[in-house]
Amino acid sequence: MDFQFIDWIFIIGYIVVVFGIAIKAGKQMDESHNKDRTPREIAEEKYLANRSLTFFESLCSIIGTEVSALTFVGVPAYAFNKDFSFVQIYMGAIAARFVIATVFLPRVYNKGLTIYEVMAQDFGLPSGQRAVGIFYSMSKVVSVGVRLFSGSIMLATFTNTSITTALIAVTFMTLIYIQLGGLKAVAQTDMFQMSLFIIGGALAHYLIPKVAGSTWGDMMTIAQASGKTQILNFENPWPFIFGIMGGFLFDMSTHGVDQDFAQRLTANKTLKSGQMAIFFSSFLSISVGLLFLGVGALLWVFYQSHPMPPNLPGADYLFPHFIVTYFPVGMKGIMVAGVLAATMSVLDSTINALCATMYNDILPNRDKLKTEFWSLIDSIILGVAILSIAILSSKFDGLLLLGLKAQSWTGGSLLALFVSKVVLKKSFHYRLDLVSVVGAYAVGMTGVFMNTKVLMWDWNLNVYWGFLLSILYLKILSMSKYASKPAHG
Sign of CA dihedral 444, 447, 452, 457: negative
In whole angstroms, give the CA distance from residue 325 to residue 84: 25
In whole angstroms, give the CA distance from residue 123 to residue 255: 25
Residues in CB range of 112: below 8 A, 6 or more apart: 118, 121, 360
The CATH architecture annotation of domain 5-398 reads Up-down Bundle (1.20)
In whole angstroms, give the CA distance from residue 476 to residue 482: 10
- Residue 57, helix vs strand vs coil: helix
CA-nearest of 81, 300, 79, 305 to 213 is 305
List the pLDDT tens digit at each of the 489 positions of the chain. Answer: 456 788 888 888 888 887 887 777 766 665 555 556 777 777 888 888 888 889 988 998 888 777 766 677 778 988 999 999 888 878 888 999 999 999 999 999 999 999 999 999 888 889 999 999 999 999 899 888 877 877 777 677 777 788 888 888 888 888 886 776 667 777 777 777 788 878 888 999 999 999 999 999 999 999 999 999 988 776 777 777 777 877 788 889 989 999 988 998 999 999 999 999 999 999 998 999 899 999 999 999 999 988 888 877 777 778 888 887 888 888 888 888 877 777 777 788 888 899 999 999 999 988 877 878 888 899 899 999 998 888 877 666 555 456 557 778 899 999 999 999 999 998 998 999 999 999 999 999 999 999 988 988 877 788 999 999 999 999 999 988 666 544 443
- For residue 222, the tally of other CB atoms under 10 A from its CB is 17
Using an 8 Å Cβ cutoff, are 248 and 96 in contact? yes
Sign of CA dihedral 35, 41, 43, 47: negative
Using an 8 Å Cβ cutoff, are 422 and 108 in contact? yes
Q: Please report which helix (H) or strand (E) contains residue 471, including its range.
A: helix 462-479
In whole angstroms, give the CA distance from residue 232 to residue 240: 6
Number of residues that make up the chain: 489
Domain range summary for the chain, segments of one domain joined by +: 5-398
DSSP string, 238-273: HHHHHHHHHHHHHHIIIIIT-HHHHHHHHTBSSHHH
Residues in CB range of 265: below 8 A, 6 or more apart: 58, 100, 105, 109, 274, 275, 277, 278
Question: Cα–Cα distances in Å, from 20 out to 142, 185, 360, 393?
Answer: 30, 10, 29, 32
> What's the count of helices (H) and strands (E) in the chain, helices before strands?
18, 0
Question: Cα–Cα distances in Å, from 463 out to 10, 111, 282, 286?
Answer: 41, 27, 19, 21
Please, what is the end-to-end C-alpha distance for the chain in angstroms? 69
pTM (two decimals): 0.84
- What share of residues in the chain are helix, strand, coil (percent, to 5)? 80, 0, 20
Q: Partners of 124 in the beta sheet?
A: 432
Question: Cα–Cα distances in Å, from 134 out to 21, 449, 456?
Answer: 32, 21, 29
User: Mind spelling out the 3-state secondary structure of 368-414?
Assistant: HHHHHHHHHHHHHHHHHHHHHHHHHHCCCCCHHHHHHHHHHHHHHHH
In whole angstroms, give the CA distance from residue 441 to residue 132: 9
Q: Half-sphere exposure of 256 toward its Cβ, with a 13 Å CA cutoff?
A: 33
- For residue 367, the tally of other CB atoms under 10 A from its CB is 9
Q: What pLDDT, on a 0 to 100 scale, did the predictor assign at position 295? A: 95
Q: Tell me 2's DSSP state.
A: P
Q: What pLDDT, on a 0 to 100 scale, did the predictor assign at position 369? A: 76
Q: What pLDDT, on a 0 to 100 scale, did the predictor assign at position 3? A: 60
Residues in CB range of 20: below 8 A, 6 or more apart: none
CA-nearest of 463, 429, 423, 477 to 118 is 423
In whole angstroms, give the CA distance from residue 236 to residue 465: 23
In whole angstroms, give the CA distance from residue 18 to residue 375: 21
Sign of CA dihedral 437, 438, 444, 445: positive
